[in-house]
Structure 1
Amino acid sequence: MTKKVLGRVDKVDFPDLNLNTIDVKIDTGAYTSAIHCSKIREEGQKLYCIFESKGHPNFKSDEVVFDEYSYTDVKSSNGHRENRYKIKTSVIFFGKKYKINLTLSTREDMKFPVLIGRQFLRHKFLVDVDLENQSFNQ
């Protein structure tokens, strides 16, 4: 299988979340993938949240409800451990739909609302840091 080459940043769609042309940072230093969300609340067996970020006009959703979710420990680059919600959804790269695990995170102060980590990239893509928007431009 020939792996597609991604650059250091790209734009992708999350069809299950009704989010399109979303800026993502490809981060081979991160194990997990993360998505910015706000107003997270758990009620009964459901998880509610809103995907929105002031600096990214395409990154805006109504409240999304997840029936299936879990928790995972994530260690940041500074060594801090955080327990986060984890969801499963789909993402489109190069016109192909893939399943992806995303941890829910507060990334309001970050340049990109979504970070794509090694767990997802593995066995699918190579990363060339000199490139940008490879999936989006095809």
Structure 2
Amino acid sequence: MELLSGFHSAVMASHEQNPVVEPLTSKTPSGRGRTEGNSMHELVMIGWREWVGIPELEGEPLLAKMDTGAWSNTLHASDIEVIESDLETQVRFRLSEDGEWVDRPLSDWRRVRDTGGHETMRPVIRTTLEIAGMDYDIEVCLKDRSLMRHRFILGRKFLREHFCIHPGRQCIHPNERTLPRIVLQI
């Protein structure tokens, strides 16, 4: 038992210094193959919450929750309007109640079931996400999450292709691009 405990400590110490997980095998324990092709690259270890940036929306960095219970990514948006024209359909929204209006092309509509079992159709936009020092092109559902604790959630459809989530840690990858700016007044 002592040997096993020492091995566990060595593995945990190794992961603390290098939060990258070994490449996944092409088969799951059940013998079924992976569906998204994530078996050929390494997954980056991230915490259950991380500071992220969405530069195209020109907002402050957001503290995003990694939500493996959710399938899709959802960003808080208020006053959501869909504006149709001959050229393209746009979504207009605010990231905060007193924030500037943001206009983005509508990418799709997504049927989403919430934790209460209610289904709604949500507008989807495409944007760039900065997380763990890398940029990703992602789809994001827009929904008023003002009553929720986390204004931005990343769902398992995106997470499973790129990351392994450490449930006991948060903000593993802070960097200058995604840390909130603190202004000191003297």
**What is the TM-score when the length of structure 1 is the normalising length?**
0.88
Pairing partner for 2:53 from 1, 10, 13? 13
Pairing partner for 1:91 from 126, 129, 137? 129
What does residue 46 of structure 1 align with? 90
Residue pair 1:18, 1:61 contacting (<8 A) in 2 also: no
CA offsets per residue over residues 67-124 of structure 1, 9 Å max, x none?
2332110011221111100111011111111011110011001111101100111220
Pairing partner for 2:153 from 91, 115, 130? 115
Q: Which has the higher contact order (CA 8 A, sep 6+)?
A: 1
Amino acid at match of 2:42: T
Residue pair 2:50, 2:131 contacting (<8 A) in 1 also: no
- In structure 2, relative to structure 1, the CA distance for the partners of 1:2 and 1:61 (3 Å cut) is farther
What does residue 62 of structure 1 align with? 100
Larger % of helix: which? 2
Query: Any unmatched runs of 5+ in structure 1?
Result: 54-59
Alignment RMSD (CA, Å): 1.7
Give the secondary-structure state (helix, strand or coil) at the position aligned to 1:122: helix
What does residue 81 of structure 1 align with? 119
What does residue 4 of structure 1 align with? 44
Give the secondary-structure state (helix, strand or coil) at the position aligned to 2:139: strand
Q: 1:137 deviation in Å?
A: 5.5
1:121-132 equivalences under 5 Å are 121-132=159-170
Give the secondary-structure state (helix, strand or coil) at the position aligned to 1:25: strand
What does residue 56 of structure 1 align with? none
**Cα distance in structure 2, aligned partners of 1:68 and 1:77:** 25
Determine what percentage of the aligned residue pairs are the same residue. Answer: 24
Question: Considering only CA atoms, is the larger Rg found in Structure 1 or Structure 2?
Answer: 2
What does residue 57 of structure 1 align with? none
Amino acid at match of 2:45: V
Residue pair 1:19, 1:61 contacting (<8 A) in 2 also: no
Larger % of strand: which? 1
CA offsets per residue over residues 2-29 of structure 1, 9 Å max, x none?
2111111111100111123211111011
**Cα distance in structure 1, aligned partners of 2:105 and 2:175:** 34
